Structure 1
């Protein structure tokens, strides 16, 4: 399996049901320190929604 994106990981999971071993290859290196998750931007409520 090529690619460690969410789609690649989901495809690897499905393939693991049929294969003895699944290997995922990722192009980018894992960061040595955790990357902070960005704070989500607040979305204003719609005046139409209750």
Structure 2
């Protein structure tokens, strides 16, 4: 279940999604964040941390 993931698990998933170019699609953040059970600002913070 997504709500049982650790921060590192989520970062790994986000890195994988980012590497596939999904976040280049408009609106992707708004779709991915709820699926990972995190807020949109949190997803942006995770993306910033991956740079």
Instruction: Tell me the TM-score normalized by structure 2.
Output: 0.31
Which structure carries more relative contact order (alpha carbon 8 Å, separation 6+)? 2
**TM-score of the aligned structures, taking structure 1 as reference length:** 0.32
More helix by share: 2
